[in-house]
Chains A and B, each alone.
Chain A
Amino acid sequence: MSQLVKKMPESSTSLYAAREPIFPRRVSGRFRNLKWVIMVVTLGIYYLTPWIRWDRGPNLPDQAVLVDLAGRRFYFFWIEIWPHEFYFVAGLLIMAGLGLFLFTSALGRVWCGYTCPQTVWTDLFILVERWIEGDRNARVKLHHAGWSVRKTRLRLTKWTVWALIGLGTGGAWVFYFADAPTLFRDLINLEAAPVAYATIAILTATTFVFGGFMREQVCIYMCPWPRIQGAMMDNDTLTVGYRDWRGEPRGKARDANAGDCVDCMACVNVCPMGIDIRDGQQMECITCALCIDACDDVMDKLGRDRGLIDYLALSDAPREEAGEKPRPLWHHVLRRRTVLYTAIWSLVGFAMVYALFMRPEIEMTVAPVRNPTFVTLSDGSIRNAYELRLRNKHGAERMFGIHVNGDAMWVLGLEGSPYSAVPVAANETLKLRVYVTAPVGSVSAQAAETPLRFWVDDLANGERAYKNTIFNGSGS
């Protein structure tokens, strides 16, 4: 036993590695510009959406996008989702999932690289960092410098701006769940619900920590998505890669035997994930394409062809190495897989749009009272009772008329009302007890069961809906 122990190395290496700080350098180019545009658009959508107004009538909220948890309603412009229609949300999630599959199989991790909130906010935080502390070299120097008044001032300024961005992020989130102007006023006057302040505090903290300090670690260690990529991507997927057959061996620009790569490290210095794309596709790469911009910049200066680092597919590598042209773009994007994903995605989308437009503006559920199944009245006629729920999805009160089809002898009665129509308040469900009476000796009174159809119609615009049920007679 002691023999075995002695064979172990004298000093074992620790499995823990401290984070290597990353100082991405400023870069400009077409992908960087695209990312700026996407950042402005996505942040704009996030911050401005709760403030868009949308008139729905006097008794409904006028906020275009609102998740009303207390009232159990979800408002999205002209669409209003009630709890029993939650399948619309499920459908949206399915579409989001399939959309990710589609884009990842065609273009790799475009979600990660361009639109993921972690990427967008980190980008914004790095921008702030660069404004305050300077570009890569200045930041490296500041990082290694001891604490001085200047460093303290720069750090505090940076953290303050980050915290303000975090506050804005958490602050914008809560506006999706309440009337934005009212909540804003309450927040300022310290009158808002504690849950609003708690939510803002948590999201401010996570934004501050995720965007300022954890950054690429969120993608590498916390996010499950990079692990799922492997199953989504294949050899035909277009993703950020390095044309090693063109670049290797690396060498000075003057060296005639060297490849195109001059080993200037521009691609490494701009990388927010701190990796070297020339090592090949790797799990850490979020395909933000900034290394493409950096390398193109260098190639332009050297007067060489762009695209040493580029969007390329693994399956094209041998072809290109042999000096042939890569297959055209549509070949990579239009594949059986992507077509299938698109087909399923569109199918779900069409089904949802269909369901959305076909869903009635007027809704009714009918629950027959089964205890007892029927009541004999003093004159011998047979009466059935039904619990109706009438749903008015409009912003104004509506009159709903009730009719019944099946046996012409039936007499309809509404509990507590001499009429066959009832007012239903705006955005409400009315529970109503309804009686159907079959006169003594009528067919349905003597039969065991007779099919019955309830009709409900909006007396103002004629919209109608029906539900089928059964009338129980005394027969067996």
Chain B
Amino acid sequence: MVEPRIDELTGRETMGHDFDGIEELNNPMPRWWLISFYLLIIWGIGYTIAYPAWPMISGATKGLLGYSTRGEVAADITAHAAANAELVTALLAQDMDDFDPQSDLHRYAAARGGAVFRAQCSQCHGAGAAGGEGYPNLLDNDWLWGGSLEDVAYSIRHGIRNQTDDDARYSEMPAFKDILEAEQIAAIAAFIPTLPQADWESEAGVLFTDNCASCHGDLGTGDRELGAPNLADALWLYGGDQETLVETITYSRFGVMPAWGQRLSEEDVRAVATYVHALGGGE
């Protein structure tokens, strides 16, 4: 360390450092730079007071302006909800069995329903709504409980075979292992794929009429009132091969869907019903 002195060549002050005989001239930052630097420090202090900044043990200081990103999102959502309030009111008042598919309200409902579907329904029915084994395909024209817009909305609102909603769609096929012999079950399983042009005089035909026709209909075409599947069409929820049919008849099936009316708002139920109805199978 040497004393700062005036360098005779440049007329400038030295810093007072001495590294093996090398000294450094004092070249201070430009004043405008320093001023803006100090102003930024002041601004920074003001910022940490006005906005959330200092981490505490739980959460952070709130800031005098009370700003939060969560609050901003909430305000955004509220603003969107307010903007859509008119459409929501119209949707709630809409007669679902007389819903013009070309209307703006229908477009809104289908778009809103698509978002609900992807969040709530796609886990079981698939992102493309094609379903899977035990989960109905919503794209085809086969409906267990009816395919009109109001029927679909009802199924969503109250669910299927759940214990939480008294109005849930409910039906239960008995497990035939306690009623019929294994050979008889096998005979019926072999008979079902021949529907509807089947041999009703055969032993299996008589067994079907005695045991199955009460719900599935005399011709095996099902009954929507009871949610009894149409056995005469090309679509199978669990599979139409012998092994699966024997399993289904022996042990029965018990697919459950929650009552979405208890989890979603009525406008969301109507919206998702509109979306599903417009996927190609709606009646």
| Contacts from A to B (Cβ < 8 Å) | 1, 5, 8, 369-372, 375-380, 383, 385, 415-417, 433, 435, 440
Query: A416 touching B233 by the CB < 8 A rule?
Result: no
The answer, among A369, A376, A417, for a CB contact under 8 Å with B235, is A376
When distances are taken between beta carbons in the complex, the residues of chain B under 8 Å from A376 are 140, 234-235
The answer, among B21, B127, B139, B140, for a CB contact under 8 Å with A1, is B21
When distances are taken between beta carbons in the complex, the residues of chain A under 8 Å from B141 are 377-378
With contacts A415-B278, A417-B102 taken as known, whether A378 is within 8 angstroms of B139 at the C-beta atoms is no
When distances are taken between beta carbons in the complex, the residues of chain B under 8 Å from A369 are 128
With contacts A1-B22, A416-B102 taken as known, whether A375 is within 8 angstroms of B9 at the C-beta atoms is no
A/B pair count, beta carbons within 8 Å: 56
Bound-state Cα–Cα, A376 to B102, Å: 26
Interface residue SS majority, chain A: loop
Query: B280 touching A8 by the CB < 8 A rule?
Result: no
With contacts A1-B21, A371-B128 taken as known, whether A415 is within 8 angstroms of B139 at the C-beta atoms is no
With contacts A8-B9, A383-B280 taken as known, whether A372 is within 8 angstroms of B102 at the C-beta atoms is no
**B169 at the A interface (CB under 8 A):** no
Bound-state Cα–Cα, A1 to B235, Å: 96
**A-B contact list, 10 entries, CB within 8 Å:** A1-B22, A369-B128, A372-B126, A372-B128, A372-B130, A377-B140, A378-B234, A383-B140, A415-B101, A415-B280
When distances are taken between beta carbons in the complex, the residues of chain B under 8 Å from A435 are 280
**B106 at the A interface (CB under 8 A):** yes
The chain B residue sitting closest to A375, CB to CB, is B139
Query: A433 touching B278 by the CB < 8 A rule?
Result: yes
With contacts A415-B278, A433-B278 taken as known, whether A379 is within 8 angstroms of B234 at the C-beta atoms is yes
Question: Size of chain B's interface in residues, with CB distance under 8 A?
Answer: 21
Query: A378 touching B9 by the CB < 8 A rule?
Result: no
When distances are taken between beta carbons in the complex, the residues of chain B under 8 Å from A377 are 140-142, 234-235
When distances are taken between beta carbons in the complex, the residues of chain A under 8 Å from B139 are 372, 375, 383, 385
The answer, among B22, B102, B106, B142, for a CB contact under 8 Å with A378, is B142
When distances are taken between beta carbons in the complex, the residues of chain B under 8 Å from A440 are 234
B127-146 residues at the A interface, CB under 8 angstroms: 127-128, 130, 137, 139-142
**B248 at the A interface (CB under 8 A):** no
The chain B residue sitting closest to A434, CB to CB, is B280
When distances are taken between beta carbons in the complex, the residues of chain B under 8 Å from A372 are 126, 128, 130, 139
Bound-state Cα–Cα, A370 to B139, Å: 13
When distances are taken between beta carbons in the complex, the residues of chain B under 8 Å from A375 are 130, 137, 139-140, 280
Question: A380 to nearest B CB, angstroms?
Answer: 4
Bound-state Cα–Cα, A435 to B128, Å: 15
Query: A371 touching B22 by the CB < 8 A rule?
Result: no
**B155 at the A interface (CB under 8 A):** no
Query: B233 touching A378 by the CB < 8 A rule?
Result: yes
Bound-state Cα–Cα, A259 to B128, Å: 89
**B250 at the A interface (CB under 8 A):** no
When distances are taken between beta carbons in the complex, the residues of chain A under 8 Å from B21 are 1
B91-149 residues at the A interface, CB under 8 angstroms: 101-102, 106, 126-128, 130, 137, 139-142
